[in-house]
Amino acid sequence: MFRRAIVRLTVTYTVVQLVLFAAFAVGIYVFVTGTFDFDAAESDGAGALNAAEQGFANLRAGLLVLYAVLIVLIPISSFVMARAALAPVQKSYDLQQRFVDGASHEMRSPLSIIQGELELALLTTRTPAE
């Protein structure tokens, strides 16, 4: 039961973190490309425009490499976070199971004794007055 919960929580954490990092990377790229002044680059000549395009290509490549690294690292950290999040729940469940097992054992013993005494009493023949 807890293994399935850990897997589900790990997948959820992984997806959420990857989506957030992707949105952050796209936001950085849009911000950098949007704030660059192409008019100044065009007046400086084709070399400045090519340098800007090369810079954007380097930024794109860097963000993609970082995202690829995150695709490997985030599931590991998500698994650790899922186990840490479910540890108190699992401990509580184990304590509850131990209590139920102990309580059922304590109830079972007296009931077994009573049942045995009743069966023994029914085995002997008695007169109506008894």
Domain ranges of the chain: 2-123
List the single range of 6-10, 81-85, 104-108 with lowest mean pLDDT.
Answer: 104-108
Give the residue-averaged pLDDT of 83-100: 91
pLDDT number for residue 25: 93
Of all residues in the chain, the percent with pLDDT exceeding 90 is 45
Give the residue-averaged pLDDT of 64-81: 95
CA distance 78 to 20: 14
pLDDT number for residue 21: 95
**Cβ(5)–Cβ(88) below 8 Å:** no
Contact residues for 64 (Cβ-Cβ < 8 A; gap 6+): none
CA distance 26 to 24: 6
**Cβ(68)–Cβ(21) below 8 Å:** no
Could you say which DSSP state residue 1 is in? -
Give the residue-averaged pLDDT of 49-53: 73
pLDDT number for residue 102: 78
Q: Round the average pLDDT of the chain to a whole number and report it.
A: 84
Structure tokens at 23: 């949105």
| Residue 48 pLDDT > 90 | no
Per-residue pLDDT band for 38 (boundaries 50, 70, 90) equals low
Estimate the crossing angle of helix 2-35 against helix 46-123, to 10 degrees.
Answer: 170
pLDDT number for residue 100: 84
Which DSSP helix (H) or strand (E) runs through 130?
Answer: none
List C-alpha distances in Å: 113 to 51, 104, 105, 124: 91, 14, 13, 17
Give the residue-averaged pLDDT of 91-114: 80
Between vectors from CA 86 to CA 81 and to CA 88, what angle results, nearest 5°?
A: 120
Structure tokens at 85: 């999040």
